[in-house]
């Protein structure tokens, strides 16, 4: 049986900030080899992987499964963020 996926320490702050500006946020980190957040904002969809800048660089790398998903995904761009500002910049850019 697979245990629950770990949530990065900064993820709740990022989710809260996204929701405060009116974004829909779906947690999908429980899906193996995927990404953390599916975000909808102003008619667009964003795939966001959250990494915690408090962790050492080696712990912020994509897992092999995440990297495979990113490499083979043919839909919306796969974004990697570490901060609230990065997440907001991605979804609010024209």
Mean pLDDT confidence for 52-69: 94
Instruction: For residue 49, give the nearest of 23, 24, 86, 4 by alpha carbon.
Output: 86
Is residue 40's pLDDT more than 60?
yes
| CA atoms 80, 88, 93, 20: torsion sign | positive
pLDDT digits (tens, 9 = 90+) for 17-37: 999 999 999 999 888 899 999
SS3 for 3-66 is CCCCCCCCHHHHHHHHHHCCCEEEECCCCCCCCCEEEEECCEEEEEEECCCCCCHHHHCCCHHH
- Whole-structure pTM value: 0.89
Class of the domain covering 11-92: alpha beta
Contact 81, 51 (CB under 8 A): yes
Find where tokens 């990404």 sit.
35
Instruction: Locate the domains of the chain by residue range.
Output: 11-92
């Amino acid at each position: 049986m697979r245990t629950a996926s770990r949530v990065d320490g900064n993820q709740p702050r990022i989710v809260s900030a996204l929701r405060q500006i009116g974004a829909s946020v779906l947690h999908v980190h429980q899906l193996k080899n995927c990404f953390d957040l599916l975000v909808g904002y102003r008619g667009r969809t964003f795939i966001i992987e959250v990494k915690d800048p408090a962790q050492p660089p080696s712990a912020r790398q994509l897992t092999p499964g995440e990297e495979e998903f990113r490499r083979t995904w043919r839909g919306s761009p796969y974004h990697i963020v570490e901060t609230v500002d990065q997440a907001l910049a991605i979804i609010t850019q024209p």
